[in-house]
A and B are shown apart, each in its own frame.
Chain A
Amino acid sequence: MSESAESGPNTAEDMPADGAALTGSREKSKGRMSAAIEAYTLLFLALLVAVLFSELPATSGVFPTAANFQAIAGGQAVLIVATLAVLIPLICDEFDLSVGANLGLASVVSASVMAAGLPLIVAVIAGLVSGGVVGVVNGLLVTRVGVNAVIVTLGVSVIIHGIVQYKTGGKSITEGLPDSWLSVGSESIFGIPVILLIALVIAAIVYYLLTYTPYGRQLYMMGANRQAAKLVGLRTNWLLFSCFVVGGLLAGFAGVLQVARAGAAAPSVGETFTLPAFAAAFLSAAAIKPGRYNVWGSVVAISFLAVINGGLNIAGASVYIADFVNGTALIAGVALAVFLRRRRGA
C-alpha cells in the first residue's frame, strides 16, 4: 500500500497518458502485494513457530496435540480481552496502565459475589460495574482534572492493588464458586475452548465498534490528530472519557473470565496481564492492518507470543523466559510500528 502511494502519482505524472494507466495499475498491484505480505507476516511467523515446535524432538511429543492446543488457546482468552481493554485507549493515543489491576479487582469482586451465592448474571454485572467505575475514575481524572493518563492510571492501579489487598487479606477466593462458571473456563466445544470462543465474540464486537461505527472512526481520528479532531467538531473530551470507560468495562469482563479460567480469584493476578496486553496491542500495528492498532492484529500478536511461550514451556524452559519474550515483544512491537510509520511517511 505504501509503495503504490509513493510511486503511483509520480509515475502517473511523468508518463504519457496511455502508458500511465498501465504503469499505475502495475505499481498498484505490486503495492498491494507488499501490503499483503506486511499484513500477514506475523501470522505466518506464528504458524512457522508452531510447525517448528511440532517437529523439534524436544517438543514434538506434546506440542502438536489437541490437549496442548486447548491449553494454549484457552490460556490466551483472558489476555485477548485485556488487550482489547488496552487497545481502545491506545487508539486514542492514551495509555491505560490500570488495565491489569482493574482486571484483578473485577475478578475478586465477581468471585465474591459468586461465593455469596448470588446468581451468575449478578456476578458478571458486578465485575463489569467494577471495571466501568475504574474507567470512569480514570476518564474523569484525565478529562476534567487534566492529569496525564500515564500518571492517572498508574496511580489508580496502585490504589486498586491496595483495595484488593485490604479486602482479601492477600488470600485467593477459591470457595463457593459455581461449577457452571468454572466449566466455562475448562470445557471445549468441537475442540475449541469455550472461554476462547467468548473472547473471540468480544473481539468481534470491538472490531465492529472500531470499524463499522462512526464512534470507532472518531477514536482513530483522535489518535491521529487531536487538535484537528477538535476543529472538525468532534467532542474530544467525551471521546477521551469514553475510551477509558469502554477500556474499563473490557478489563472488568476480562476479570470475570479470569475467575472461570483460574477457578479462583487471586488478589495479584491482574498485574501479570498489563505487560503482555501492551505488547500485543503495540504489535497489532504490525499485522492485518499495518500501521494502525487493530483488533485482529492483536489476536494474531497474542497467538504469536502464546505459541512461542507455550513451546518454550514444553521444551522445559524456565518460567522467566516468558518475561524475556514479552518484554522483547513490547519493545520490538513499538520499534516496528515506528519503522512502518517512518517508511510510510513520505
Chain B
Amino acid sequence: MTFRVEGVTKRFGPTVALDGVDIELLPGEIHALCGGNGSGKSTLIKTITGVEIADSGTFSIGETVAPASEATPAQAHEWGIRCLHQQGSTFGSLTVTENLAAGVGFPKAFGGRIDWRAARKHSRELLAEFDIDAGPDQLLEELRPVTRQMVAIARVLQDQDDSNGGILILDEPTASLSAADVDRLHAAVVRFAERGTMVMYVTHRLGDLPGFASRATVLRDGRVVGQLGASEIRHDRLVEMIVGVSEEELLSAASSHVIDASVLDERLVLTDLVGGPVKGASLSVGSGEIVGVAGLVGAGRSSLLEMVLGVQEPESGSIELDGEPLKWRAGKPHDAVALVPENRVLDAAFLPLSLTENIVATTTGRCWRKGFLHHRAERTQVRQIISDNGIKAASEEALFQTLSGGNQQKAIVARCLRGNPDVLLLDEPTQGVDFAARAAIHETIRMAAAEGLCVLVVSSDLEELVLMCNRVVVLVEGRTTETVSGSDLTPENLERLGFGTEVLSV
C-alpha cells in the first residue's frame, strides 16, 4: 500500500499556495518534507488531513482514489492518516492517562462513569507499546519535552486499527527539543517506520535529516522542486534546493539603496542583549536606516523586538537610543518606540472600535483641548491619513473589523507613525497582506525612514528583507551571527545563514 498525492493545487485568492504537488509515500519510509517559510508545507499537510479543501488533484491509498477537493478530516482519519501538529497538542496539567484519552474518549463503566482502572490499564499498554518512560498518573508538565512529544504521538496513533500501516505526519516535532532528545525521538520514529507506518516528517532542522530520512521532497513557492534519495540528503544540497534562486534573480534583487554605514550616526544600539530565546544580540540602527532581522521561527526574533519596545525585560545587555539607555519601565513600552506586532488581531487591532479610534489609539491626547476631545478635528486628521496611506474603508467611522487585513495593517502602520517615534519596530509587517498593500506599506516605511526614523524589521519573507533593508542581521538560536549588506544581501544568503547552526553541527 502506498499513499499518493497527485497534482494537488490550492489557491488563496490570487496566491497559489500549492501548484500541482505530487508526493508518494511508501510503507516503512521516513519521508522528509522541506521548504522555506511560506513554501506550502503547512498547506499541503492541511489538505492531506482534510482541514483545508484543495482546488484540484487526487489522493490515493492503494487502489482507492479520491479527489482532493472532497477530502474531509473524517476520510483522512479512515485512511489511517494521523497528524501531530506543531504546538498545543498536549495538556500539561492533566495526567498521561487523561492526555491519551483526549480525542478518543475514556472507557466507560456502569452508568456512564469513567472506568479509571481500564483507562489506566489501556494507557499502561500504550506506554509499553510505544516504549515511553512515564507512568499513567504522571502529569504531562512533569515529563521531559521529548516524553511529552512521545505521549502526543502515542495519542494520535493509538486508534489505528492496523498497526502495520497508516500514515503519521509529524510537523516540526523537534522544534522544542535538545539534541539528545532529538535522537531519542528519531529512534522512536524509526521503530514506527520499521513496523510499516508511512512517516511524513516536516522540519526546518535540515541537519537532522541525513542518516535519518529515507527520502526528501523539497517545496518552493508551492511546487515540488526536487526529490532526494537517502544517500543524496545532505545539508548543503537541501539548502540549495530550498532557496533555489537563479543567478539573474539574485542580481536583480540586490538592493539598490545602499547607505554608506560610515556616514550614519548610530541611534539605536543593542549590546549583548539576552532575554528569553535571545542569547546574545548586538546590532545598531542608524538614523534613516532600515535594518532587517532574519532567522528561523524560534530564533528569538520577536523577543528581540519586545525587549526593544520595553515589554519584555532583558536579562542582561543594554539598549541605547541616542546614547541614552532605554530603561525597563515595568513592562510599559518606551515612548520613543512603536511596534507593528506580528499578530494583528491579538496584539494590535481594536476590532469593535472605529477606524478613527484605531488610528489615534496612541495619540488620543492630540485632539484634547480645553477639556474636550475634538471629534471633528480628529476625524479630519484621520481622513487625511486614510487618503495619504490609501486605506480603503467605508468611512473614517467604519468599524475596524469591517476592513480587510491589508487595510487594517496600513492603518496600524499609520497609527505607529502618527506617534512620531524615533524607532519603528516591524514584526512580519506584510504577513497575509496582498501584493498591492504590501508595496504600499513598504513605500510608507521607506518614506518615514527617509525622515530619520530608525526601522528594525523582522520578517520570514526574505525577499521582503532584501527589498526593504539597508542591512540585515542574521539571528541564529538567539545570537546575532552575521550582518549582510550591499550585493551580499540576497534571499539565498539570508536563508543559508539562517540555517547557520546546522551547517556547523554537521
B-contacting residues of A (Cβ < 8 Å)?
1-2, 4-9, 12-13, 28, 31, 211-214, 217-218, 220-221, 224-225, 227-233, 235, 291-292, 341, 344-346
- Additional 9 contacts, C-beta under 8 A, given A214-B365, A214-B368: A2-B399, A8-B394, A217-B357, A225-B348, A228-B341, A232-B348, A232-B362, A344-B352, A346-B401
The proximity string for B residues 335-372 relative to A, scoring 1 for CB distances below 8 Å and 0 otherwise, is: 10001010000111111110001000110110010011
Whether the Cβ atoms of A341 and B333 lie closer than 8 Å is no
User: In the complex, how many angstroms separate the beta carbon of A144 from the nearest chain B beta carbon?
Assistant: 13
Whether the Cβ atoms of B402 and A224 lie closer than 8 Å is no
Whether the Cβ atoms of A232 and B361 lie closer than 8 Å is yes
Q: Which of A212, A232, A235, A344 has the most CB of B within 10 A?
A: A232
Please report the C-alpha to C-alpha distance between residue A6 and residue B399 in the assembled complex, in whole angstroms.
10
Q: In this assembly, does B85 line the interface, its C-beta being within 8 Å of a C-beta of chain A? A: no
A221: nearest chain-B partner, CB-CB: B350
Whether the Cβ atoms of A292 and B398 lie closer than 8 Å is no
A216: nearest chain-B partner, CB-CB: B373
A225: nearest chain-B partner, CB-CB: B350
Please report the C-alpha to C-alpha distance between residue A221 and residue B397 in the assembled complex, in whole angstroms.
15
The proximity string for B residues 364-404 relative to A, scoring 1 for CB distances below 8 Å and 0 otherwise, is: 11001001110000000000000000001111011101111
Q: Could you say which residues of chain B place their CB within 8 Å of the CB of A230? A: 311, 331, 333
Known contacts A217-B373, A346-B401; A231 and B394 CB within 8 A of each other: no
Known contacts A217-B357, A231-B333; A344 and B399 CB within 8 A of each other: yes
Can you name 6 A-B pairs with beta carbons within 8 Å?
A: A9-B404, A212-B373, A231-B348, A232-B333, A232-B362, A344-B352
Q: Could you say which residues of chain A place their CB within 8 Å of the CB of B404? A: 9
Known contacts A1-B399, A214-B373; A225 and B351 CB within 8 A of each other: yes
Q: Could you say which residues of chain A place their CB within 8 Å of the CB of B347? A: 225, 227-228, 231
Q: Could you say which residues of chain A place their CB within 8 Å of the CB of B350? A: 220-221, 224-225, 228-229
Q: Could you say which residues of chain A place their CB within 8 Å of the CB of B394? A: 4-9, 28, 31
Whether the Cβ atoms of A224 and B341 lie closer than 8 Å is no
Q: In this assembly, does B309 line the interface, its C-beta being within 8 Å of a C-beta of chain A? A: yes
Whether the Cβ atoms of A233 and B401 lie closer than 8 Å is no
A345: nearest chain-B partner, CB-CB: B401
Q: In this assembly, does B237 line the interface, its C-beta being within 8 Å of a C-beta of chain A? A: no
User: In the complex, how many angstroms separate the beta carbon of A214 from the nearest chain B beta carbon?
Assistant: 4
Q: Could you say which residues of chain A place their CB within 8 Å of the CB of B311? A: 230-231
Whether the Cβ atoms of B402 and A6 lie closer than 8 Å is yes
Main secondary structure on chain A at its contact with chain B?
Answer: helix
Q: Count B-side interface residues using an 8 Å CB cutoff.
A: 38
Main secondary structure on chain B at its contact with chain A?
Answer: loop
Whether the Cβ atoms of A291 and B399 lie closer than 8 Å is yes
Q: Could you say which residues of chain A place their CB within 8 Å of the CB of B333? A: 230-233
Whether the Cβ atoms of B364 and A214 lie closer than 8 Å is yes
Q: Could you say which residues of chain B place their CB within 8 Å of the CB of A345? A: 351, 401
The proximity string for B residues 288-310 relative to A, scoring 1 for CB distances below 8 Å and 0 otherwise, is: 00000000000000000000010
User: In the complex, how many angstroms separate the beta carbon of A25 from the nearest chain B beta carbon?
Assistant: 11
Please report the C-alpha to C-alpha distance between residue A231 and residue B339 in the assembled complex, in whole angstroms.
8
Q: Which of A31, A220, A341 contacts B357 (CB 8 A)?
A: A220
Please report the C-alpha to C-alpha distance between residue A4 and residue B398 in the assembled complex, in whole angstroms.
8
Q: Could you say which residues of chain B place their CB within 8 Å of the CB of A291? A: 352, 399
Please report the C-alpha to C-alpha distance between residue A64 and residue B346 in the assembled complex, in whole angstroms.
52
Please report the C-alpha to C-alpha distance between residue A62 and residue B372 in the assembled complex, in whole angstroms.
44
Whether the Cβ atoms of A4 and B364 lie closer than 8 Å is no
Q: Which of A4, A6, A214, A235 has the most CB of B within 10 A?
A: A214
Please report the C-alpha to C-alpha distance between residue A218 and residue B347 in the assembled complex, in whole angstroms.
16
A-contacting residues of B (Cβ < 8 Å)?
309, 311, 331-333, 335, 339, 341, 346-353, 357, 361-362, 364-365, 368, 371-373, 392-395, 397-399, 401-404, 407, 415
Whether the Cβ atoms of A227 and B362 lie closer than 8 Å is no
Known contacts A218-B364, A220-B357, A224-B353; A233 and B393 CB within 8 A of each other: no
Q: Could you say which residues of chain B place their CB within 8 Å of the CB of A225? A: 346-351
Whether the Cβ atoms of B352 and A224 lie closer than 8 Å is yes
Known contacts A8-B394, A213-B373, A231-B311; A221 and B353 CB within 8 A of each other: yes
Q: Could you say which residues of chain A place their CB within 8 Å of the CB of B402? A: 2, 5-6, 344, 346
A213: nearest chain-B partner, CB-CB: B373
Give the 7 A-B residue pairs with the shortest CB-CB distance, closest first.
A8-B394, A5-B402, A224-B350, A214-B364, A5-B398, A5-B394, A233-B333
Please report the C-alpha to C-alpha distance between residue A341 and residue B368 in the assembled complex, in whole angstroms.
29
Please report the C-alpha to C-alpha distance between residue A6 and residue B362 in the assembled complex, in whole angstroms.
26
Q: Could you say which residues of chain B place their CB within 8 Å of the CB of A344? A: 352, 399, 401-402
Q: Could you say which residues of chain B place their CB within 8 Å of the CB of A233? A: 332-333, 335, 362
Q: Could you say which residues of chain A place their CB within 8 Å of the CB of B335? A: 233
Q: Which of A12, A218, A220, A233 has the most CB of B within 10 A?
A: A233
Please report the C-alpha to C-alpha distance between residue A1 and residue B335 in the assembled complex, in whole angstroms.
35
Q: Could you say which residues of chain B place their CB within 8 Å of the CB of A218? A: 364
Q: Which of B339, B348, B394 has the most CB of A within 10 A?
A: B394
Known contacts A211-B373, A217-B373; A227 and B346 CB within 8 A of each other: yes
Please report the C-alpha to C-alpha distance between residue A214 and residue B362 in the assembled complex, in whole angstroms.
10
Whether the Cβ atoms of A228 and B348 lie closer than 8 Å is yes
A12: nearest chain-B partner, CB-CB: B392
Q: Could you say which residues of chain B place their CB within 8 Å of the CB of A221? A: 350, 353, 357, 361
User: In the complex, how many angstroms separate the beta carbon of A26 from the nearest chain B beta carbon?
Assistant: 12
Q: Could you say which residues of chain A place their CB within 8 Å of the CB of B341? A: 228, 231
A13: nearest chain-B partner, CB-CB: B392
User: In the complex, how many angstroms separate the beta carbon of B319 from the nearest chain A beta carbon?
Assistant: 17
Q: Could you say which residues of chain A place their CB within 8 Å of the CB of B346? A: 225, 227-228
Please report the C-alpha to C-alpha distance between residue A220 and residue B360 in the assembled complex, in whole angstroms.
13
Please report the C-alpha to C-alpha distance between residue A291 and residue B350 in the assembled complex, in whole angstroms.
13
A6: nearest chain-B partner, CB-CB: B402
Please report the C-alpha to C-alpha distance between residue A211 and residue B368 in the assembled complex, in whole angstroms.
11
User: In the complex, how many angstroms separate the beta carbon of A309 from the nearest chain B beta carbon?
Assistant: 31
User: In the complex, how many angstroms separate the beta carbon of A297 from the nearest chain B beta carbon?
Assistant: 15
Please report the C-alpha to C-alpha distance between residue A225 and residue B401 in the assembled complex, in whole angstroms.
12
Whether the Cβ atoms of A235 and B332 lie closer than 8 Å is yes
Please report the C-alpha to C-alpha distance between residue A341 and residue B401 in the assembled complex, in whole angstroms.
10
Whether the Cβ atoms of A217 and B364 lie closer than 8 Å is yes
Q: Could you say which residues of chain A place their CB within 8 Å of the CB of B365? A: 214
User: In the complex, how many angstroms separate the beta carbon of B430 from the nearest chain A beta carbon?
Assistant: 19
Known contacts A2-B402, A217-B364; A231 and B309 CB within 8 A of each other: yes
Q: Could you say which residues of chain B place their CB within 8 Å of the CB of A212? A: 371-373
User: In the complex, how many angstroms separate the beta carbon of A319 from the nearest chain B beta carbon?
Assistant: 38
A218: nearest chain-B partner, CB-CB: B364
Q: Could you say which residues of chain B place their CB within 8 Å of the CB of A5? A: 393-395, 398-399, 402
B394: nearest chain-A partner, CB-CB: A8
User: In the complex, how many angstroms separate the beta carbon of A23 from the nearest chain B beta carbon?
Assistant: 12
Q: Could you say which residues of chain B place their CB within 8 Å of the CB of A7? A: 394
Q: Could you say which residues of chain A place their CB within 8 Å of the CB of B371? A: 212-213
User: In the complex, how many angstroms separate the beta carbon of A316 from the nearest chain B beta carbon?
Assistant: 43
Q: Which of B331, B333, B357, B373 has the most CB of A within 10 A?
A: B373
Please report the C-alpha to C-alpha distance between residue A12 and residue B361 in the assembled complex, in whole angstroms.
27
Q: Could you say which residues of chain A place their CB within 8 Å of the CB of B352? A: 224, 291-292, 341, 344
Please report the C-alpha to C-alpha distance between residue A316 and residue B349 in the assembled complex, in whole angstroms.
51
Q: Could you say which residues of chain A place their CB within 8 Å of the CB of B351? A: 224-225, 345
User: In the complex, how many angstroms separate the beta carbon of A92 from the nearest chain B beta carbon?
Assistant: 13
Please report the C-alpha to C-alpha distance between residue A291 and residue B419 in the assembled complex, in whole angstroms.
28
Please report the C-alpha to C-alpha distance between residue A5 and residue B331 in the assembled complex, in whole angstroms.
36
Q: Could you say which residues of chain B place their CB within 8 Å of the CB of A4? A: 394-395, 398
Please report the C-alpha to C-alpha distance between residue A28 and residue B404 in the assembled complex, in whole angstroms.
18
Please report the C-alpha to C-alpha distance between residue A214 and residue B407 in the assembled complex, in whole angstroms.
25
Q: Could you say which residues of chain A place their CB within 8 Å of the CB of B407? A: 9
Q: Could you say which residues of chain B place their CB within 8 Å of the CB of A231? A: 309, 311, 333, 339, 341, 347-348
User: In the complex, how many angstroms separate the beta carbon of A239 from the nearest chain B beta carbon?
Assistant: 12
